[in-house]
Amino acid sequence: MNWTGFTKPWAVPTARKWARQFAIIFTVWTASGLFMAGQWYILMRGSRYPPSLKTVLIPTLLTRWIFALLTPAVLWLSARFPFRPGRWMKSVAWHLLGALGFLFVWVSIRLPLYPITDPRTGKQVGLSWQLYRDVILEDELYSIMIYGTIVAVSQLWGYYREYREREVRASRLEAELARAELKVLKMQMDPHFLFATLHSVSTLIHQDVEAADDLVASLSELLRINLDAADEQEVTLKREIDYFNVYVEVQRIRFGSRLAVDVAVDPKALDALVPNMILPALVENSIGRSMEESDRPGQVGIRSELRAGKLRIEINDDLPRKQGAEERCVETETGLANTRARLQHLYGESHYFSLGMKSGGGSCLALEIPLNIKPAEPEEQPAVQPLFEVN
């Protein structure tokens, strides 16, 4: 239930919202009246002079419907003068006046609609100030109890809404912080890769101007893709491979025919979502310093397949590693460290990541993430909306 129209007195609810809120109020009070009338009728049915259902039902429902008419005003007053630290005295004073007004208005509406019958004569008692005063004195405690119940429910609902709003704001801030951290991690391209590539450009300028020009163009394209996709945390594997091809083009210009890359992807995995720009970060770990420190040719193989609801990616290479290279890569390499942090942010404990050294040289990197398929594009909504909406 949403009491926005009552909890914010300066807001003007639409007619539809007023109607919906009053319908809820009217339904609650009617259900209460039916329950009380039913209880009273069952209890009195075994008496010596059992009343008719009509005699019990009409006054009970009439009383509840008057309460329903007065409830919006009580809710407004409750929202206007909430019980908050520093405002207790003022709120109590206003609610005492509100309770008295509730009593007078209730009796003023009730007496003309349902006159009181004198039990001795069976005749209706005529309206008079004496009768008005007697009914007020008789029903004052009952009226105050009803008023207090409405105010208490309103205040408790207000506290609950504030609690929920604080929870939602906190969760949104936490999500925004996580997105910001992921964005920073994704934008931190391995500085060694950039420095080494620029160094290759400066070397090729004196040896092969055309190759240097191609390298600058490919590097620019890679940086453009990285910047354009700054707000995307996950892309399809197919799109990631397209990005990866640009990265490989940069490396092939740097290392020439010494570098061979082989990619084998299960066609069923092409629509699976993977962290954006993750393949360049992982492959850079394999070929970064190894190709620079050795003149021998090297090969990098990428395999991707689906396994029991997971997407598995393996990167194998035959490039030599120095002693302790695994520990160095895990702890100090920017690209690999950022990749680990991104995977932890995106998938928590539901992912698997390992890096191992082969006995004959080279390394083997394995990654498993939950299988998420990119959802289909939503269908176009009809121009004419239905008369009734289901929220």
In a domain, 335, yes or no: yes
Pairing of strands 298-307, 259-265: parallel
Flag residues of the chain having pLDDT under 70.
1-14, 115-128, 173-196, 226, 228-231, 285-286, 288-294, 320-335, 360, 375-391
- The answer to the question of residue 105 being in a domain is yes
| pLDDT score, position 229 | 63
Could you give the 3-state DSSP secondary structure of residue 76?
Answer: helix
Give the pLDDT score at 368. 92
In a domain? residue 247 = yes
Query: Model confidence over 214-233: pLDDT tens digits?
Result: 888 887 887 777 676 666 77
* pLDDT recorded at residue 312: 92
Task: Verify that 53 and 37 share a domain, yes or no.
Answer: yes
Same domain, 342 and 203: yes
Both 141 and 20 in one domain: the answer is: yes
Pull the structure tokens for residue 255: 């290392």
Note down the domain range covering 351.
Answer: 188-370
192 and 175, same domain (yes or no): no
- Within this chain, do residues 11 and 133 fall inside the same structural domain, yes or no? yes
Q: Does residue 338 share a domain with residue 197?
A: yes
Query: What integer pLDDT is reported at residue 335 of this predicted model?
Result: 60
Domain check: are 74 and 36 in the same one? yes
Torsion from C-alpha of 280, 188, 229, 299, nearest 10 degrees: 0
- pLDDT computed for residue 91 by the predictor: 86
State which amino acid sits at residue 219.
L
Alpha helices in the chain (DSSP H): 4-7, 15-44, 53-80, 88-113, 129-187, 191-207, 209-228, 237-255, 278-293, 325-332, 334-347
Which of 180, 199, 223 is the C-terminal boundary of a domain?
Answer: 180
Could you tell me the pTM of the whole model? Answer: 0.48
Asked, for residue 385, whether it belongs to a domain, the answer is: no
